[in-house]
Structure formats: structure tokens, C-alpha cells
Structure 1
């Protein structure tokens, strides 16, 4: 698809919007942007547009949805090469007839998230426990840097950029280093059977204890998630394998009261989990990482902050790996900002990290998008200078860090 250039008005601003259909077209767009001195924003489905701080300036939106082709599917090698603008759900549909899939289930998938956007956000879902993040499944990638240079890492290397593993570097970069254009991904056999156990538990300490019991056992779950009311434990593989795991789980004292969800209820439960993590209009959503053992402390701290701020909160936790999402609802922007700042401080005090994923209007000016700058900030500055020396890619997204 040839690139399409349109001009759109956003409030009082006028910005160009271009939709390249190939790596060459994308490179041409970015080369032209250097001459024009344009500030760039890369956009796919828009599911992570609010992550981090708001960009301070956008002259040109580079829309990746024209980069939506499957380039190569090497069935016998269990790899696929795909353009970055393809939605993850579409890729799974294309892989399924071969009995293959990408074992990756970020919350934004059902909202149409694209593969490039998912790498740029480093988003991950419950199955991260068993399969890791998207960057763990990338074996080769193509990027377009701010000056239009095409760089590849892994597989067939056209330009090796100072030895960096570019997929790892761009993961979580929120578009600040350049454009993700193509990905070569490692595939897995598509499970023929899945099963989810549910344990009613509204206490964070008890949820953590049950999760630990599962992880110490030979069950090998694909996911262990707590939503504040229920612990969800997912298994998949062959029908015999999932049946065997369910029988083994029934023998664990911590899971004695658990029950198995029916086929329809299982997918509905996981989609409900994803929707809660994504949040909706008027919510504030933050994602944190911390040691799994700190879940009870962080849950208690959140409840205290919520009571004082006059807002409602849902805490969803990947209890086995220490990834926690807080969704704030109700109240006003001042309450959201106060709760965000206080809970973020609590996480940082325990050595964790926090990313703002969605905010109620008015929250960011009061609480900021990011907490204290990490010790790696000088390295981030150096990388930004190397990959985007003029600071044109997603300016302000990591403010005030860089």
C-alpha cells in the first residue's frame, strides 16, 4: 500500500498524518521529516496512546496500520515474519490453521493492539509467567531510526547498530527511539486444551500463599492471577495434560475450595481481567513491578490511600512474578492524583517501578506521569542522543527524565 498523506486538526493544532505501506516508504517519510524538522509520533491501533507522559509536540503522525502484511511463515522452522502494524489477533488467526500460535496475551490484544505497538510498550499478559514477554519471542526485527536509517537485528543483518539487541532496546521505549517496522517471531504449538481453576479469595496474603503453593508444585501453570476477589490459575496443552494437572491441583490443600470454569466462562473470565487492566474513560490505571512477596503490603497501602482519597480501586496481580495493576475509578482528579502519587511512592520505596497507562483528565498536572528518575537515566539519555539526536521521536513521552 502506498503511503497516504492527510492533514488533521487536533484542537488548535494542525498535524500531518502519513500511512506508509513498506519499510522503504517508512524510511522515506522519516528522512523527509529530518529536513522539515518535524516532531514524530508513531501510532498503530492507539491502545497505548496514553502510556507515560503526554507528548509535548507532534507535527507528523506515522500510522503503522498500513504495515499489516504477513511476510513469511516458515511452518517447519516455527517462525513467522510480519509487519508491525498487523493486529496480534489477526496474526493468531493466520497461524491457527498450521496448529501454531504466538504464546502472548496482552490485555490490549482484544482491543486491536498491533505487534509494533505491543513491543514498543513492552506490554504482557497473564501467560508471561510461562512464555515471557513479546521481546522474548522476537528472533529478528527491522526498525526505522529517526533519520530514516533502516536497522535490523537478528536474522539477516543489514546494519548492526553498535551490537545492540534492538528488540530488547525498543521494548518499552514508547516510540522514543524510532519506528518498529517488522518482526520475526518464534512460534509454539497451539494448545488443544485449556482449563482454568478459580479460588475465591479476597485477602492478598492468602492469594499469595495459594499462588506460591501452585508454583512449588509440579503443576506448571500458564498463568496465576489475582483480581482482588478470585485467584485464576490457567493450564493448557493437550487434553490429557490439562486433565492430569486438574487432578493434581485437587490434591493441594490450598486449592481444596477451587472449582473449574466451564468452557464459555473461562474465556469470559480472562477477557474480564483484560478489560479491567485496560480500564475505561475516566479511570486512572497504573502498572507496577515489585517482588511478589510484597503484594500484601502494597495491597494494604493501596486500601489506606483509597480510603483517604475517596476513590474506588481494583488491584490485579500476577502473584507469581510480581506484576501489579491498579485501576482507580470514581471520585475526582485530585483524589486519583493523590492515590497515584502515594501508591507509586510505596512501590518505589520497595524497589519497584511504576508506569502510568491511563489517567483521568487533570491527574497528570497534579501527580506527574513518572516517579523519581531511575539510576539508569544517564544511559537512557545517551541512547536517546544516539538514536534520536534531535529529540524528534515522541518528545516529552518520558518527561521529566528526558
Structure 2
């Protein structure tokens, strides 16, 4: 393909080291050429999750998705929208709002430009995943480009039928290791008329777990239940009347007598603080763990054991109703971060959970593996990698040493 304007030229027929394809055909052409030249490829959207997992080996081509940002279709009456995967989520929400609709996904680390394709590749979502799931749960069809430039569609007219595989699930959480999502057909929802946040003071994991269970058993129907280490934050959405009614009823739920509805500014500040903690900052190490919700108290105790008396400080926040926990390590040196990471991850795996390394202090990679023990399904993952990317061109090393 021909390099977009503004990129350094190369010899005819060769790719530059960075391309920004403006459409599906150009993206497929770029990947086909890269495969022919045996060049490894890294897909880059907003760059908000490039540190997740293991470091990618030397990359021969960076494919930017920012040129793939167009609206393809919108059928408000059918509650569907078709977009290119490089579109930022915030822009899609702006387009949908006049129709009274939204895509019920939040960037897990705040409104920092995350693209739809990036959110799919990360397999993650913000607090409202409790009700709506992640982006992958809202995809009803997709157009993908595989490592060799092959175009594949699922949920629509088929260019290449890859029988037996749900390609959206393959891409969800793949961190770009299996190919590129170029177009997505999505299911949208009514834009809530009102939103409210309850805050329940609770500074211990046992109390947070007990309160979260009470909320989930109640008729309150929350869209988000998160513990920030100080308070349990409970979010409601719906009509103004229903949201106000749930706010009035909440203190009558056993265990929630001290809960209070936050003002709009206080609620925004509470969720923004949680988002900053989940994202982390330079010099910090951030781990994301998934376990059974009941494992939270034991894992927090273990974290405290590992950091008490040392230079490293740890903070844990949790989507306690679902068992999704984020640990932030700060202070100390790389060796101390690596030791805490390794030991706490062993505890999570011992509890039947999993851990993703999302951010690390400089030097940690030389001292600790990015991934823990291989999951039971690793043989299946390796087989899929061989089938869809036999030359290991897409994000090589992202899941090392698993494959």
C-alpha cells in the first residue's frame, strides 16, 4: 500500500515502519504485505493499554487504527450501529446521544480516548460491566483482518467463512495477538434519563463483601458496585422517578442504613478517583485479578502481609460484586515490586483466579514474568495462534511464555 501523507517514503512496494490505513482494503493490504515481508505487527489505537501483558518483541510495523474511525450505519429503530473500530468511544457516544441512545461501555481507566477496537482487544470494561458486560458482549457482528491479510466477517455476509469459531470472542481479550478488528456492528441501549450514586462507608473487605451481597440480593438493580477501599459505591440508572425511588429505598436494605446519595459533583469525583487508581501512574505497578468474589478478604490480607514493614505500599480496589480486583504498588524499588507481584499472583492462582499485569515500574520485567502459570486452556490458545497467525507476526511475545 502507499504510505499516507506525512509518513516517510520507502522504496516502491515496501511498507514504512508505521502506517495509518484509511479503510478496510488498505488495512488488509498492509497486513498482507507485512506477512509477505515477514514483518511483525503491533496494532495501536489510543495507546491506553500498550503496556498490558508481556512486552512485545521488536516490531517491524506499527499499524495505527486512528484512520479507521467512520460511522458506517445507524439504525435507531433496530438499536444497532455499525462503526469502524478506530473510532473513540467518546465520539460514538456523542453521535448516539441525539437519538437517546448509548453504548453501555465505559473505558475502565477513564475517558482517555480509548477506541472501540482497543476496548474489544483488551476484553475489559468499566464499572457498568456489572449490568452490561464488556464490549464483546455488545458486538453482534464484525469484520476482521487476519495476520496474512485475509478479511473475515462474522455476524453478516461472509467473505471468508471460518467455520466453528466465534471470531469476536477470539479477539476479545487477545491484546492484538490474533488479528485486527476493523468494523464492528454493535447493540446499543436507551440513554438513561437519570443516574445516581450511593456511597456506603466501609473500610474493610469483609464489610464491603457483605454489603455488596446485600445490594445484589435487593430489588435495587444497580448497574455498578465498586469498593474503593473506603466506600462502597453503588450506581443506579433509569428514569428520574425510578432512580430517586431506589435512592429512598436503599437505607432500608439490611446493611445499607448508612448509605447516602452523593451529589452530582461528589459522585463524579468518586468515580474519577476510582478510575485514576485503576489506571495507575508512572512508577507504579498495576495488577488486575479475577477471582470468586468471596476470595477478596483473604487476598487483601495476603497483600498486607507482603507490604507491611517494607518500602512498597499497596492499594486494592475491587468490583467486589464480580470479583475483579485492581492492585496498585507504589514506592520501593523494582526488585520489591517484582517480589510482591510474584508472591501475590501466586496467591491469586492458588485461589483459582488469574492476574494481568497492566503497568509496571521500570525494571520489573527483568525480574518477574509478566504472566503467571499457563491456564489449562493454553494448548487451545497455542493451536488457535498457529491457525490464525502461524508465523507469530501479530504482537509477538505479548503472551510469552504461554505462546
Bin for the TM-score computed over the shorter chain: over 0.9
Q: 1:130-162 CA deviation, whole Å, 9 max, x = no partner? A: 011111000001110001000011133322212
Could you tell me which residue of structure 1 aligns to residue 12 of structure 2?
Answer: none
Name the SS of the counterpart of 2:225 in structure 1: strand
1:368 and 1:309, CA in 2 relative to 1: closer, same or farther beyond 3 A?
farther
CA distance in 2, matches of 1:126, 1:258: 19
1:324 and 1:15, CA in 2 relative to 1: closer, same or farther beyond 3 A?
farther
Could you tell me which residue of structure 1 aligns to residue 235 of structure 2?
Answer: 234
CA distance in 1, matches of 2:332, 2:291: 27
Runs of at least 5 residues in structure 2 that lack an aligned partner in the other structure = 10-14
Name the SS of the counterpart of 2:169 in structure 1: helix
CA distance in 1, matches of 2:176, 2:96: 27
> Quick check: 1:273 aligned with 2:274?
yes
Could you tell me which residue of structure 1 aligns to residue 248 of structure 2?
Answer: 247
CA RMSD of aligned residues (A): 1.6
Name the SS of the counterpart of 1:297 in structure 2: helix
Instruction: Note if contact 1:4-1:18 (Cα within 8 Å) is conserved in structure 2.
Output: no
> Quick check: 1:170 aligned with 2:171?
yes
Normalising to structure 2: TM-score of the pair? Answer: 0.96
Could you tell me which residue of structure 2 aligns to residue 352 of structure 1?
Answer: 353
Q: 1:66-113 CA deviation, whole Å, 9 max, x = no partner? A: 101111111100001111111111111111010000111132341111
CA distance in 2, matches of 1:399, 1:281: 23
Runs of at least 5 residues in structure 1 that lack an aligned partner in the other structure = 9-13
CA distance in 2, matches of 1:328, 1:310: 10
CA distance in 1, matches of 2:300, 2:138: 32
- Paired residues, what number? 397
CA distance in 1, matches of 2:309, 2:387: 45
Could you tell me which residue of structure 1 aligns to residue 225 of structure 2?
Answer: 224
Match runs of 1:253-332 below 5 Å: 253-307=254-308, 309-332=310-333
Normalising to structure 1: TM-score of the pair? Answer: 0.96
Instruction: Note if contact 2:345-2:355 (Cα within 8 Å) is conserved in structure 1.
Output: yes
Match runs of 1:69-84 below 5 Å: 69-84=70-85
Match runs of 1:46-195 below 5 Å: 46-195=47-196
Segment drifting more, 197-206 vs 246-255: 246-255
CA distance in 1, matches of 2:181, 2:117: 5
Name the SS of the counterpart of 2:345 in structure 1: helix
Q: CA deviation at 1:249?
A: 0.6
